[in-house]
């Protein structure tokens, strides 16, 4: 059985299919895939955000509690768990390549290629599509991209505040058509990989698209589908400021919706390649994601370790199997680290992993593989690893900090309050105690607990410092 995994970043799980809450976002290609798939409606991350989530997906191992004291010299990000795949963990690609699979990775998720990272382990070939966000790919001067920056920032431009956008536009300043945008480049490369390698069966292809992560910068016509006749600033990173008008805020949502629709169109072209190569009959295709984001839920955009409601922690999980159910929905809890053992199970490969094979949910052999999920979102503060956990079961969601004394945990009653608006922790001490115990079982220590991972202040940030120096915002030696 061939395997294709499509992983998207910052992609809301409630968009796709006939049960999506954000049904106004147009995703015909992904809807078609969902209609042919087993759809797991309560799939959640294990550790989040970006790299933690991918490590869970790719290894089948829990990243939380963050306990791997691995080398991150030269890498700027300090969040707990933000590091390479530990040497003692096998990746899905490594396991499959040893069993005769030709393996490929196509991605523009630049975090996977930052210093000390090793996410190409096990892949016979890979294409790193350059240019996302603050990928330090192309240099230049402010003047080269000032017209582009004026389109997305208030004037006078606060250049230091918008360093990430400055790098993004330097990377992408030569775009001429929609085919030059990053999602199109990623899925075009994935199509070429299939055309080149579909005869190298069995194959395993992981297509990792960083969009619809910020900046929400689709070709203009896609945002205009949701908000035509707009003539203002496109705040593609949602940095609209407190003085933003209602129209400007509505446009930010339209930008996200447009980005999703553009990604969907690119996936649609990729699916046409699968059609043309007649691969559906012997290929498993998975659509998943690392986490979601707020789209004016509770009045805000973005995601945060301090907000572990469903729209941030739920992930897409649609699995099309040649012999599997079509358009069926399954309600059992699934987590990111369950994907690898599930795919290995379809290949007849035994897996000794933290995750569980969830395909028995689709075959009706079991109704559930767990009765709750513990989801961690990494953070970093005061020079040490820390984070927050969501403990979710059929009725309750507790959010609580780990690695520090959290004085503001919160509890939501999902039956009475499905949108998680009202904190009821004071009225339910016994529920809080039960959920806390579930976190402690994963951590194997009492809360707040201590995380051993290296996350110290002496890990420098050379890339960000160099960029600040390049554009004259700081001097060598400045703190």
Q: What is the mean pLDDT of the chain?
A: 92
Segment 14-55, tens digit of pLDDT? 999 877 778 789 999 999 999 999 999 999 999 999 999 999
- Greater confidence (248 vs 69) lies with 248
Q: Which residue shows structure tokens 């939380």?
A: 64
Q: pLDDT at position 451, please? A: 83
Rounded to whole angstroms, the Cα distance separating 128 from 107 reads 5
DSSP annotation of 394 reads S
CB burial of residue 428 (10 Å; 0-12, 13-18, 19+): middle
Q: pLDDT at position 75, please? A: 67
Q: pLDDT at position 200, please? A: 93
Q: pLDDT at position 239, please? A: 86
Domains assigned to the chain: 2-368 (3.40.720.10), 374-457 (3.30.1120.10)
pLDDT over 80 at 192, yes or no: yes
pLDDT over 80 at 452, yes or no: no
For the ranges 193-207, 215-229, 343-357, 377-391, which has the lowest average pLDDT? 377-391
Rounded to whole angstroms, the Cα distance separating 227 from 221 reads 10
Neighbours of 364 (CB within 10 A): 10
**Rounded (10°) angle between helices 246-276 and 182-197:** 10
Report which secondary-structure segment, H or E, holds 330. Answer: strand 328-330
Segment 306-328, tens digit of pLDDT? 999 999 999 999 999 999 999 99
The whole model's pTM is what?
0.94
Q: pLDDT at position 398, please? A: 98
Q: pLDDT at position 73, please? A: 72
Segment 96-137, tens digit of pLDDT? 999 999 999 999 999 999 988 999 999 999 999 999 998 999
Q: pLDDT at position 247, please? A: 97
């Amino acid at each position: 059985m061939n395997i294709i995994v499509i992983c998207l970043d910052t992609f809301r799980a409630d968009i796709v299919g006939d049960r999506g809450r954000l049904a106004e976002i147009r995703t015909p290609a992904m809807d078609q895939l969902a209609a042919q798939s087993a759809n797991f409606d309560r799939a959640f991350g294990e550790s989040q955000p970006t790299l933690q989530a991918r490590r869970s997906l790719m290894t089948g191992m829990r990243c939380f509690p963050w306990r791997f004291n691995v080398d991150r010299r030269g890498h700027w990000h300090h969040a707990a768990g933000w590091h390479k795949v530990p040497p003692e963990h096998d990746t899905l690609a490594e396991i499959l390549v040893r069993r005769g699979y030709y393996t490929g990775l196509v991605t523009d998720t630049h975090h996977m290629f930052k210093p000390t990272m090793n996410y190409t382990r096990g892949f016979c070939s890979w294409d790193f599509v350059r240019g996302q966000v603050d990928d330090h790919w192309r240099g230049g001067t402010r003047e080269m991209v000032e017209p582009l920056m004026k389109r997305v920032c208030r004037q006078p431009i606060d250049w230091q505040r918008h360093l990430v956008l400055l790098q993004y536009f330097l990377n992408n300043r030569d775009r001429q058509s929609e085919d030059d945008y990053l999602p199109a480049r990623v899925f075009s490369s994935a199509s070429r990989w299939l055309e080149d390698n579909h005869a190298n069966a069995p194959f395993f292809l992981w297509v990792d698209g960083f969009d619809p992560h910020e900046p929400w910068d689709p070709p203009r016509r896609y945002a205009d589908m949701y908000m035509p006749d707009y003539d203002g600033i496109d705040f593609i990173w949602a940095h609209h400021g407190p003085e933003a008008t209602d129209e400007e805020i509505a446009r930010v949502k339209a930008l996200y919706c447009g980005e999703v629709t553009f990604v969907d169109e690119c996936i649609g072209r990729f699916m046409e390649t699968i059609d043309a190569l007649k691969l559906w009959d012997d290929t498993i295709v998975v659509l998943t994601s690392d986490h979601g984001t707020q789209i004016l839920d509770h009045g805000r955009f973005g995601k945060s370790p301090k907000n572990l409601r469903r729209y941030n922690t739920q992930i897409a999980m649609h699995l099309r199997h040649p012999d599997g159910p079509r358009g069926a929905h399954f309600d059992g809890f699934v987590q990111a680290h369950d994907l690898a053992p599930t795919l290995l199970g379809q290949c007849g490969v035994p897996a000794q992993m933290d995750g569980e094979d969830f395909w028995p949910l689709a075959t009706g052999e079991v109704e559930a593989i767990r009765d709750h999920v513990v989801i961690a979102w990494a953070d970093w503060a005061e020079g040490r690893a820390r984070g927050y956990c969501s403990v979710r079961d059929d009725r309750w969601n507790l959010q609580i900090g780990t690695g520090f004394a959290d004085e503001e945990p919160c509890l939501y009653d999902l039956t009475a309050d499905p949108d998680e608006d009202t904190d009821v922790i004071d009225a339910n001490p016994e529920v809080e105690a039960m959920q806390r115990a579930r976190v402690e079982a994963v951590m194997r220590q009492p809360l707040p607990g201590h995380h051993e991972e290296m996350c110290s202040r002496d890990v420098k940030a050379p890339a960000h410092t160099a960029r600040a120096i390049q554009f004259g915002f700081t001097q060598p030696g400045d703190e």
